[in-house]
Structure 1
Amino acid sequence: MSSDIAPIEESKIPGNHSARKIQRWNPSSIYATNIDNSSIQIDTDNTNNTDNTDAIHNNIPLNHISPAQMYSTDSGNMFHAGSICIIMVGLPGRGKTNLSISLCRYLRWLGVRTKLFHLGDYRRKNNNSDLNFEKLMSNSYFTPSPENLDIKLLKLKIKNNMINDIVKYFSNSNGQIAIYDAINGLSNERLELLNFFNSKNIKCLFIETIIDNINLLNENIKDSVNSPDYLNWDPEIALENFKNRIKISESYYQNLDIKSNSNLSFIQSFNFGEKMLINNLKHDFLTTKIVYYLLNAKIKSHSIYFARCSLNKLNFKDDPPINENGKNYINKIFNTLKNDFPNNEIPKDLIVWTSTRLRTIQSSEIFKENGCTVKHRPELTQLNPGAAEGLSNDQLKEKFNSDYCKYIDDPYHHRYPRAESYHDLALKIEPLILEMEKLSNDVLIIADETIIRIFYGYLMASNAIDIPSIKFPQNEIIKITYHTYNNQIEKLIVNDIDNE
């Protein structure tokens, strides 16, 4: 070796190289020493943080590891990306909140520390202030500059509180992306936000959602009244109130445009990915991921159903046809599912996904005969246990003692010899996740428990640590429904099936 080649220096900041040298998956950040757990959280119906709603609005705990995290650093952030505030722009009823939540879910799935900040939540938090709820829902509040001084000052206070929380999130909790969800309809206000965040060394990306398809707009407006603003309201009164709010916003709203906003980095999404206009973007890794996601994202209010396939005890390479027990099982799945739809009929626009294994292909025939679209995807093949297949814990401990200890320590990322890990499955099904994001139809996925765990982890914003231990009994169909503010889970019991 030539003597003029300099040796590799140790990192000047202790620990920066440890992701490669010591620990591949580092759940915490050495910089996040003052985690702010006081930030507002969604609690629309007292069901937040319970088993039937997802964790997308929860603060990210220090031990959180994202299921599809691509690499780990001691800082907890991706190299070279910096701090980014995604500022949503759009009239009411254009799907900003729905899209911001979906985008947050996807970015967290990839391992990007992301947090949602909904201006409406900060307003609702003030329901017990001197100004009552009616004033906070009044026409005056939703104008750019309310005539009532009390409302005007409170509106400014609410906005400043959220902006301050965003800055704290970056400085104290080592956040990487904050999503600012509000109308942000005035050009001068957007410029003020840009200048303020840039002064804090926070980059801004504006995303405007535009819907010019009347049918899509009407459907989205109907769904918008499921907002926490209208909890326990009469649906017709809520719809009338929301339409009035739209009219008020339309009177002052200014679209993003290249002529007057040429210095802004922004994306305009028309009808949820039907067409996109991109201005002044640096196509780094994260921005490219965001653009690609927006091309696939749709407004979602449908359900994803999960049913385990039959013959779950087979060896990985075995691929026999479905037997009589399997036929009886899938018939019971079909009949149970029917009861969850209007008129006890499975709709013909239900989309069914299975793996390419023979027994799952044959299981889907009953749905194909019903007129449903059926797709067989090799990505849905169960986790390959490799050399660990068929071995008990005692046998694994004896034969692969070192591997067994590593598996016990991290069952999500560890691979036995010639095996797959859950993390491998997560990366493998990412194309299916993006395809699922495009859909607006109900979907049934018939798959092995290992595959269902990964999809569940995505839809419910789970910690990777928890995924390998989630149980999905054979006698349950899991139903996860997209709602405006979170995903909700329901279990459909299949009668006369063993709970295994």
Structure 2
Amino acid sequence: MPENIVTESSGRSEPLGDDTSIQPPQQPGNYMARVKSRWSNPFSESHNDADDKKISGGSGENIERDLKKRRISNSDFDAIHQEVSSDFISPAQLYSTESGRLFHAGQLCIALCGLPARGKTHLSVSLCRYLRWLGVKAKIFHLGDYRRSYCEKKNISQTFWNPLENANEREEIVNECISDIASYFENDKGQVVIYDAINALSKDRLDFHSLLTEKDVKVLFIESIVTDERLLHKNVSDASKSPDYENWDPEKATENYISRIKIISPIYQEMNEPELTYIKFINFGENIVINNDKFGFLVKKIVFFLMNSRIKSGSVFFARCSNNKLKFKSDPPLDEKGSEYFKKLNKTLLDYISKSKGDNFYQNIPIKSASKNEKQPPIGFDGQHENDFVVWTSTRLRTIQASQSFTKLGIKTRERTQLTQKNPGDVEGLTDEEIKEKYPEDYEKHQQDPYHHRYGRAESYHDLAVKIEPLILEMERMSGDILIIADETVIRVFYGYLMACSCNEIPFLEFPQNEIVQIQYNAYSNIAKRITIEGVDP
């Protein structure tokens, strides 16, 4: 008797026969993995060249080459604000639907609200990054971008307006933004919009809610409240990095930003509308209050992410293992060459952090005793302070030994099974020519989709992306610096998350052994840098 499967776009239950009778999906996806080929080839004849141009900016015939090379030549570019195609496949996406919507959640608008310096932009960007990673087609609409564009078109000063004043200008700007939001939902198969604005007045919030619910779009408000003076001071200090203060003197930018807070504070109305669904996000995860939750699984995922989200002060550093040519199952100790490599890595990184923090970082770390009665702090406390430093390694012997030079300095080190390199399976040790001769069909499929395809008894990059999700949430919870020592295959996936790479780009990212990669958090977009390790071959 054939099974029934419910399609998310229609909600109808349709019979399924044998695998041979299943038609190819109209959108890329595994459709519950009932056929061998889970994802369609993004470079097939049916693929839309116009959509590709949104991703890579190249011509149709050069798309594949451009996607392979874009990250290598633009490693410092965070694509979180870049347009994605209607059939975009996210790195950790488990399935797809004809409608483009996942988790039976329909369309959702997340509207941020709160006074300036409450981390709304940081929150909107990090939330969009996570949702896209899961496969949700999400986009951020920063009202500030529309204000700057409006001022540029009108050739007027890019000032900041009191919500009670300049009513005509404000209405024009807000209407343009809302029009683009509606278009994104209706024409671009968008599922989630993140509306980044102050939304100071209750009347404006109620009007916004009514307007979108009429279009069958659910609205979730997230109000960011900061009562911690230290956190507030940091947010104000970071304001000079926002697009509003490009080429400004940092001190003048801070003064101007404080004046904005003074303008808004007397008129801001805290959320208490009982008919609205909202989350009060207090001190970035210290406390969360939910009102009128009725939106199901996707909102639960969002709440779970918020519980793990923090304002970041540190960076994420990536360094490769010393020997990437070992077989997957082999686990030898660190050799002399590897020990020398990690000594140089240790000195290069800690000198760099010391210089950036303005003090001698690694000589001022308190060395803890090794008393057997002393308990190790819970993992949940790792990286909570902005000056904390944590090292993650895989459970392989050579990486554990490599981390000992950090442990001796009192730096916390953690072993993570998820950081084990991608299993090559049956093709381990084979050259391209040997794989092509021995497994011609698999070889062709791998060339078409190196991210999702896996050889016999192997893992794919997609498998790694799904496997590291708990580590991503743990990383989001940290405020300080973290060093991840891992195989290049694992670093590619982490980098893909932090820099919003597509699954077509991740397999082609390159991380030479003589470089440490730094991802520096920024409220609007992350920045990637390369730090050279002197005396080490690429």
TM-score by length of 1: 0.89
Counterpart among 328, 332, 338 of residue 326 in structure 1: 338
Work out whether 1:87 is the aligned partner of 2:106.
no
Work out whether 1:420 is the aligned partner of 2:444.
no
SS of equivalent residue, structure 1 residue 208? strand
Matching residue's letter, 2:262: K
Which position in structure 2 is the counterpart of 1:467? Answer: 506
Q: How far off is 1:63 after superposition?
A: 5.8
- CA–CA separation in structure 2 for the residues paired with 1:73 and 1:100: 25
Q: How far off is 1:7 after superposition?
A: 8.6
Alignment of 1:114-133 (within 5 A): 114-130=138-154, 132-133=156-157
- CA–CA separation in structure 2 for the residues paired with 1:434 and 1:469: 25
User: Given the superposition, is the C-alpha separation of residues 296 and 330 from structure 1 closer, same or farther in structure 2, using an over 3 Å criterion?
Assistant: same
- CA–CA separation in structure 2 for the residues paired with 1:131 and 1:344: 48
- CA–CA separation in structure 2 for the residues paired with 1:429 and 1:253: 40
- Contact map agreement 2:86 2:189 (CA 8 A) in 1: no
SS of equivalent residue, structure 1 residue 304? strand
Stretch moving more, 49-58 or 348-357: 49-58
Work out whether 1:137 is the aligned partner of 2:159.
yes
Work out whether 1:189 is the aligned partner of 2:208.
no
Matching residue's letter, 1:437: E
- Contact map agreement 2:310 2:479 (CA 8 A) in 1: yes
Work out whether 1:442 is the aligned partner of 2:487.
no
- CA–CA separation in structure 1 for the residues paired with 2:437 and 2:53: 44
- Contact map agreement 2:28 2:89 (CA 8 A) in 1: no
SS of equivalent residue, structure 1 residue 207? strand
SS of equivalent residue, structure 1 residue 225? helix
Q: How far off is 1:77 after superposition?
A: 2.1
- Contact map agreement 2:29 2:40 (CA 8 A) in 1: no
Which position in structure 2 is the counterpart of 1:409? Answer: 448
User: Given the superposition, is the C-alpha separation of residues 32 and 473 from structure 1 closer, same or farther in structure 2, using an over 3 Å criterion?
Assistant: closer
Stretch moving more, 387-396 or 105-114: 387-396
Matching residue's letter, 1:497: V
Offset from partner CA, 1:197-239 (integer Å, 9 cap, x none): 0111111010011111111111122112321111222222211
User: Given the superposition, is the C-alpha separation of residues 292 and 222 from structure 1 closer, same or farther in structure 2, using an over 3 Å criterion?
Assistant: same
Offset from partner CA, 1:154-177 (integer Å, 9 cap, x none): 221111111100001111111000
- Contact map agreement 2:105 2:295 (CA 8 A) in 1: no
Offset from partner CA, 1:473-493 (integer Å, 9 cap, x none): 111110110012100011011
- Contact map agreement 2:29 2:39 (CA 8 A) in 1: no
Work out whether 1:253 is the aligned partner of 2:292.
no
Counterpart among 419, 422, 428 of residue 389 in structure 1: 428
User: Given the superposition, is the C-alpha separation of residues 19 and 311 from structure 1 closer, same or farther in structure 2, using an over 3 Å criterion?
Assistant: closer
Q: How far off is 1:50 after superposition?
A: 4.7
- CA–CA separation in structure 2 for the residues paired with 1:8 and 1:129: 55
SS of equivalent residue, structure 1 residue 180? strand
SS of equivalent residue, structure 2 residue 150? coil
Which position in structure 1 is the counterpart of 2:58? Answer: none
User: Given the superposition, is the C-alpha separation of residues 182 and 36 from structure 1 closer, same or farther in structure 2, using an over 3 Å criterion?
Assistant: farther
Counterpart among 82, 98, 114 of residue 122 in structure 2: 98
Counterpart among 273, 281, 284 of residue 272 in structure 1: 284
- CA–CA separation in structure 2 for the residues paired with 1:391 and 1:407: 14
Percentage identity across aligned positions?
A: 49
Which position in structure 1 is the counterpart of 2:396? Answer: 357
- CA–CA separation in structure 1 for the residues paired with 2:130 and 2:28: 27
Which position in structure 2 is the counterpart of 1:224? Answer: 239
- CA–CA separation in structure 2 for the residues paired with 1:314 and 1:36: 37
- Contact map agreement 1:367 1:374 (CA 8 A) in 2: yes
Q: How far off is 1:145 after superposition?
A: 2.1
Work out whether 1:107 is the aligned partner of 2:107.
no
Stretch moving more, 472-481 or 273-282: 273-282
- CA–CA separation in structure 2 for the residues paired with 1:33 and 1:266: 40
Q: How far off is 1:61 after superposition?
A: 2.9
User: Given the superposition, is the C-alpha separation of residues 129 and 466 from structure 1 closer, same or farther in structure 2, using an over 3 Å criterion?
Assistant: closer
- CA–CA separation in structure 1 for the residues paired with 2:305 and 2:183: 27
Structure 2: 5+ residue stretches without partners = 3-12, 55-72, 366-387
Runs of 4+ in 1 over 3 A off after TM superposition: 9-12, 14-23, 30-38, 343-348
- CA–CA separation in structure 2 for the residues paired with 1:284 and 1:27: 32
Which position in structure 2 is the counterpart of 1:492? Answer: 531
Offset from partner CA, 1:282-318 (integer Å, 9 cap, x none): 2522111101000001112321100001121100111
Which position in structure 2 is the counterpart of 1:208? Answer: 223
- CA–CA separation in structure 1 for the residues paired with 2:39 and 2:80: 21
- CA–CA separation in structure 2 for the residues paired with 1:91 and 1:378: 41
Stretch moving more, 281-290 or 479-488: 281-290
- Contact map agreement 2:29 2:95 (CA 8 A) in 1: no
Corresponding residue pairs, total: 473
User: Given the superposition, is the C-alpha separation of residues 31 and 157 from structure 1 closer, same or farther in structure 2, using an over 3 Å criterion?
Assistant: farther
SS of equivalent residue, structure 2 residue 318? strand
Q: How far off is 1:345 after superposition?
A: 3.8
User: Given the superposition, is the C-alpha separation of residues 35 and 491 from structure 1 closer, same or farther in structure 2, using an over 3 Å criterion?
Assistant: closer
